[in-house]
Structure 1
Amino acid sequence: MKRRNKIAAALLFAASIPAVSTWAQNSLRSAYFLEGYTYRHQMNPAFASERNYVGMPVLGNFNIGLQSNIGVSNFLYKLPNGDLTTFLNGSVSSGEFLDGLKNRNRLNLDVDMNIISFGFHKWGGFNTFDLSIKSGTRANLPKDLFEFAKVGMQGGHSEYNLEDMGMYSNSYAEIALGHSRKIMDKLTVGAKVKFLLGIYNADFHINDMKLVMSDDKWLVSGDGEFSTAGIVDIPTKLKTKDVTDDYGNIHQETEEELDFDNIGTGDAIGGFGMAFDFGATYQLREDLELSMAVLDLGWISYKNAVQSAMAMEPWEFDGFHDIPFDSDKAAPGMSIEDQIDNLTDDPGRLISNESTG
């Protein structure tokens, strides 16, 4: 068979709702140019396999993709004796570690696992069926976050500003039906319809967070949003707090906040949606084929989503107080166990519930 030079003009469009993205297209890109690659139709539905096929569950098509603007060498360092250590080791200077980071450090992780797939020639063209599980996670971590982890407090007072920090994760099952056929001697077109079953969706974004550290206390304040839906169920609980009005009068108000202590299991299928792929190939010359595709044009809508925002008042930690020698004789809420529990629970109260739907 003659070697063919391909020009791939793949136009990858994602929906305005980020539940469906180009995660499904993170298969091995080099395989796009291999005529014998069975799953080329996932990158352009106009591509047809030369023969019928049945894919083995999981092993038939399993892809993991990791993309980042930083590498493992930014976090692992070699000691003089040849052993490896992390950036937290005192032998690694803060300057050496921080100089290798970006102001915005990005990490993308994608998993595409095939469950059932097959393709066959029938009805005047080539037909495909795929059942797969797809997952994608996006993280954006500012440099100050790693500086806080490495340096901590210096000189009795330190401030860190964490801006534009967030993480987005989405997992869903996809049932895809595709068909491609020649409509002219040199022109082949294809289309695919996808039924999407949402498993889990979470979006956590901090617009601005300030961390102030001093010898006597820590203060954390910020502005951000958090939403979650799907198989992980984060319930809400009521919180009562004292509020002072403009006249100095104190009254109590009740608001909802997320209850991270009682995270449970929600619906296995928490959302539904659809997506479409369209593609075409044109044999311009014997050794030149043009290809174009529009992929993942669609959406997923989740039910029972929880949306929350960071509370306006800052969280303050000023140490442990009045810890008795005998914890069994401690006043209510003052034992070391109670105070440690409060230390782990209080930061979660920065996030208050806005609405569910």
Structure 2
Amino acid sequence: MKNRMKQLGLVSIFSFAILPAQAQGSMSGFFTDGFLYRHQMNPALGNDSTTYISIPVIGNVNARMYGNFGLQDVLFDNPRYPDASNKKKTTFLSPYIENGLDGFSKGNNRVGADVKVGLLSAGWKGMGGYNTFDVNLRATADVKIPYEFLAFAKDTGNKDYDMGDLDAEATSYVEIALGHSHQVSDRWKVGGKLKFLLGLGNARLQMHNMKATLSDNQKWEISGDAVADVSIKGFEYKSKYKQYNSRDEQYSYVNDVKVSGYGISGFGMAADFGAEYKAGDRWNLSAALLDFGFISWSNDIQAKNISNHVSFDGFHDLTVGGDSDNPMDKPADEYADQFMDFAHLTSLGDQGKRTTMLGATLNFAASYKACDWFKAGLLSSTRLHGSFSWTEARLSGNFMPLSWVDGNVNVAVGTFGPSIGWLLNFHPMGFNFFIGMDHVLGKLSKEGIPLNSNVQLSTGFNIQF
């Protein structure tokens, strides 16, 4: 089970199902003047009169999940329980779930997660402006699944499926960032950050022009191009032989993975750029480009489907749970086996160095200060990362009832639907604590897993001078 969970996470496909845009911080805190980490969303923004240092590891923690489907669309009550089965749950693949595809988009179905943990952060006034230093641990995962692939997995009765392209990626790295913002005139303020990146691992699975045709012997003939690139220290594929056509020809295909060590697997650099313009006493406009950069990985452990036509028995539903009623126990392992059989990848070994780009983010914002204790703001965020790009617009009302308390409530619409967020920020003398959500937590399963894939949490403890 442990190796299979690694297999799913490292190869990325369905990575969210077993758990997530680059985490840039709490979007709810963008217009909150006392929020210490505004500089992570625009390096021109900073609390110029405030000096702070984070409490290590817990100074700034951000975790987010997002997507246009969730656990409630994958996991169902088993209609055969308890008369014909002792398993309380089943998946949308079950032939007894008639409307199992209703929760999925007819186009691309996307889901992802990201985590950003501030290991250490500080901000102080100096050199004619405001300076910041950050060390962050960052991890992301994204999956794009076409509807036709899900229809094929459930086997809706067609003899031919044109599944198109499936894409998945997971990345983790340590970020060391130095930032500076500077007031260049009464109206203009600019800022920038230089980031040094220590790559811990990257995995990318891409499948193009995938098709399935039911043959005369009632087996699926799978065609298309698939490639998996993994850059993780000590990583290797494990393989076994399999017959792949009616002529008894065999090939070696990947059925497991092994990681014998951990460490730094790559190095890179990135930069943030930002500017703020005061359009009068009440209006502020700002723009920023974040995470424009790359990581160069020292190795590329690659696998491809070297045969373009392979027989496949099809995906089979597995009932979930039992006495433990845990939906993530044995089925995750067995679904991994089924998917690796479908992908039929052959290990090609280490192909040398490779370079990956980070997902850059564009932020545009406008705010209006109605009075000393209330400000309205509109923030537009766009992530630029190929198959995993997204956009969001967020309208917020920001308040400061006391000199040491501020926060906001906000609503947003975007690629992954509407959401409601909030933030509370407490900053009495000598101390700062904040907590908030860009996406309010909805219903949970019995195991504490969100049924909806959109949820975000930010919290932190800092010493403030």
In the TM superposition, residue 352 of structure 1 has moved relative to its aligned partner by: 4.3
- Which structure dedicates a bigger proportion of its chain to helix? 1
* Contact persistence 1:159–1:212 (CA under 8 A): yes
Q: Deviations over 1:326-350 (max 9, x none)?
A: xxxxxxxxxxxxxxxx999866753
Q: Is the 8 A contact 1:59 1:114 kept in 2?
A: yes
Q: Which amino acid in structure 1 is aligned with residue 190 of structure 2?
A: V
1:38-49 pair list within 5 angstroms: 38-49=36-47
- Give the match's secondary structure for 2:37: helix
C-alpha deviation, 1:208, in angstroms: 2.2
In 2, distance between residues paired with 1:129 and 1:345? 43
What percent of counterpart residues are identical? 36
Change (3 A) 1:314 1:28: same
The answer (yes or no) to whether the contact 2:230–2:301 under 8 Å persists in 1 is: yes
Counterpart Cα distance in 1 of 2:237 and 2:344: 13
CA RMSD of aligned residues (A): 3.7
1:58 aligned partner: 57
- Check 1:343–1:35 CA distance in 2 against 1; reply closer, same or farther (3 A cut): closer
Residue 277 of structure 1 and its aligned partner are, at CA, apart by 1.2
Structure 1 unaligned runs (5+)?
A: 1-21, 242-251, 320-341
314, 324, 327: which is aligned to 2:309?
A: 314
* 1:225 equivalent among 213, 224, 227: 227
**What is the TM-score when the length of structure 1 is the normalising length?**
0.71
Unaligned 5+ segments in structure 2 are 1-20, 82-87, 244-248, 315-336, 353-465
Structure 2 CA distance for aligned equivalents of residues 54 and 220 of structure 1: 56
- Aligned residue pairs total 295
Partner of 2:448: none
Q: How does 1:277-292 map to 2 (within 5 A)?
A: 277-292=272-287
Amino acid of the residue matched to residue 165 of structure 2?
D
Deviations 1:229-270 (A, max 9, x none): 02361258899x9xxxxxxxxxx9xx9x67654522355111
Aligned-partner residue type, residue 180 of structure 2 = H
Aligned residue among 127, 139, 144 for 2:143: 139
Which residue is equivalent to 1:327?
A: none
Match runs of 1:245-264 below 5 Å = 260-261=255-256, 263-264=258-259
User: 1:98-109, aligned counterparts within 5 Å?
Assistant: 98-102=101-105, 103-109=107-113
Q: Which amino acid aligns with 1:220?
A: I
- 1:210 is aligned to 211
1:160 aligned partner: 161
Aligned-pair distance for 1:317? 5.7
Aligned residue number for residue 202 of structure 2: 201
> Residues 67 and 78 from structure 1, CA distance in 2 versus in 1: closer, same or farther, beyond 3 angstroms?
same
Judging changes above 3 Å, is the alpha-carbon distance between structure 1 residues 344 and 142 closer, same or farther for their aligned structure 2 residues? Answer: closer
Flag the 1:232–1:87 CA change in 2: closer, same or farther, 3 A. Answer: farther
Hey, what's the Cα distance between the residues in 2 that align with 1:349 and 1:234? 16
Shift of 1:206: 0.5
Would you say the 8 A contact 1:166–1:204 is kept in 2?
Answer: yes
For 2:140, give the aligned amino acid: G
Scaled by the length of structure 2, what TM-score is found? 0.55
Pairwise mapping of residues 108-147 of structure 1 onto structure 2 (< 5 A)? 108-147=112-151
Looking at structure 2, the residues matched to 283 and 127 of structure 1 have their Cα atoms a distance apart, in angstroms, of 21
SS in 2 for 1:33: coil
User: Secondary structure at the residue paired with 2:28?
Assistant: helix
Change beyond 3 A, Cα 1:85–1:237: closer
Whole-Å separation in 2 of the counterparts to 1:344 and 1:167: 13
> Which has more radius of gyration?
1
